[in-house]
């Protein structure tokens, strides 16, 4: 689906820092999220994602710097009416049925979705709507949590690890719904540990590492910047000769043998292949691999050490 982004900044972080004791959980982070976009915030455990989201939601104050939503403080009532969030912790009110909780949250917003819309989008069945909320299963509570996030028909939605604990079909359904919300022009930010989800769903990935933004761009751009490209083949000629030659080629950083194939890690696969052909070496079954987002992620987070 092609949708023009308006370029209107919906979320702005300006040199935001959050300190816990001597620990900088978020360290001078700046970025802007535009209306109608869908952005994944990625990063290893402890990278600062949840802390950043809490500040965006106005649940935590910044130690330094500023967060603006719709150009205002996230604590502004007019702003709160435009946002919805599904956080990791799902806690439900005791003594209320699912439907009653949803209606309660709807009543806080000026233009809420109808209960029917919410039920359809969250997949809550009439039976589940009638259940005591505390008696819902883990998966049902996550559906309720999603229902509450969208209940106010918000313009901006935050999902923190939304698909944890969902089975494959529930996960697929969830992302289909999120795409539908985006098609309505809503702005969406989510965190995930499933890199494939970020790759499939997000137009932009903001990669956190040790409290800072380590990479920011489209999934494609991040992969092309970070992944190791490899060219691999079966060498009919003397393998050692091929290895020696490849080591001399500009851009090649490693050459090794695996399962009968020679593999060259290089920033420039074309030059590596050209060098082989120029030398008249016969190789066959050539494969070029771009590398996955998982690899990009590992490469980035390993090269800088683990988050403390
Ligand atoms: N209330 C707190 N008090 C002290 N330290 C905290 C607090 N909240 C977070 N931290 C620390 O800040 C760092 C960032 O934590 P945060 O929860 O934001 O990371 P995360 O990227 O969301 O991790 P995860 O993927 O595990 O959810 C961690 O080192 C964490 O221990």
CB-based contacts of 256, cutoff 8 Å, min separation 6: 262, 263
Entry pTM: 0.80
Span 228-289 CATH architecture:
2-Layer Sandwich (3.30)
Q: Whose CA is nearest to atom 4 of ligand 1?
A: 20
Decide: helix, strand or coil at residue 118. Answer: helix
ipTM > 0.90, yes or no:
yes
Q: Map out the domains of the chain as residue ranges.
A: 9-224, 228-289
Q: How far apart are CA 240 and CA 8, in angstroms?
A: 57
* Nearest alpha carbon to residue 198 among 49, 38, 50, 48: 38
Continuous segment of H or E residues that includes residue 204: strand 204-209
Pocket of ligand 1 contains residue 210 by CB under 6 Å: no
pLDDT in tens, the chain (308 residues): 444 556 799 999 999 999 999 999 999 999 999 999 999 999 888 899 999 999 999 999 999 999 999 999 999 999 999 999 998 877 777 789 999 999 999 999 999 999 999 999 999 999 999 999 889 888 888 899 999 999 999 999 999 999 887 888 888 889 999 999 999 999 999 998 778 888 899 999 999 999 999 889 998 888 776 667 889 999 876 788 889 999 999 989 999 988 889 999 888 888 999 998 898 888 889 998 877 777 777 777 765 544 33
Taking each helix axis from N to C end, the angle separating 168-183 and 138-151, rounded to the nearest 10 degrees, works out to 0
Q: Token pair of 38, please?
A: 């869908």
Cα–ligand 1 centroid distance for 249 (angstroms)? 44
Cα–ligand 1 centroid distance for 238 (angstroms)? 53
- Could you tell me how many residues make up the chain? 308
Pocket of ligand 1 contains residue 50 by CB under 6 Å: yes
* The CATH number fitting domain 9-224, selected from 1.20.950.20, 3.40.50.1980, 3.40.50.300, 3.40.50.720: 3.40.50.300
């Amino acid at each position: 689906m092609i949708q023009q982004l308006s370029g209107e900044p919906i979320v702005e972080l300006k040199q935001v820092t959050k300190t816990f004791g001597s620990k900088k959980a978020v360290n001078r982070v700046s970025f802007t999220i535009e209306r109608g976009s869908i952005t994944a915030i990625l990063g290893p455990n402890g990278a600062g994602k949840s802390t950043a989201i809490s500040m965006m939601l106005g649940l935590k104050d910044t130690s330094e710097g500023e967060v603006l939503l719709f150009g205002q403080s996230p604590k502004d009532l007019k702003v709160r009416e435009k946002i919805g969030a599904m956080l990791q912790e799902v806690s439900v009110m005791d003594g209320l049925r699912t439907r009653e909780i949803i209606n309660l949250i709807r009543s806080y917003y000026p233009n809420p979705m109808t209960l029917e819309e919410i039920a359809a989008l969250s997949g809550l069945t009439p039976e589940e709507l009638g259940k005591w909320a505390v008696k819902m299963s883990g998966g049902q509570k996550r559906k309720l949590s999603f229902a509450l996030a969208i209940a106010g028909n918000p313009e901006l939605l935050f999902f923190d690890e939304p698909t944890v604990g969902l089975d494959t079909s529930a996960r697929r359904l969830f992302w289909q719904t999120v795409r539908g919300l985006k098609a309505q022009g809503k702005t969406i930010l989510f965190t995930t540990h499933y890199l494939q989800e970020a790759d499939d769903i997000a137009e932009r990935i903001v990669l956190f590492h040790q409290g800072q933004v380590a990479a920011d761009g489209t999934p494609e751009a991040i992969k092309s910047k970070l992944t190791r490209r490899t060219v691999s083949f079966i060498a009919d000629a003397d393998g050692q000769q091929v290895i020696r030659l490849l080591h001399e080629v500009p851009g090649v950083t490693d050459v090794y043998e695996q399962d009968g194939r020679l593999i060259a890690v290089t920033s420039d696969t074309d030059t590596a292949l050209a060098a082989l052909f120029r030398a008249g070496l016969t190789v066959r079954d050539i494969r070029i691999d771009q590398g996955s987002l998982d690899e990009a992620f590992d490469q980035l987070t390993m090269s800088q050490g683990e988050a403390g």
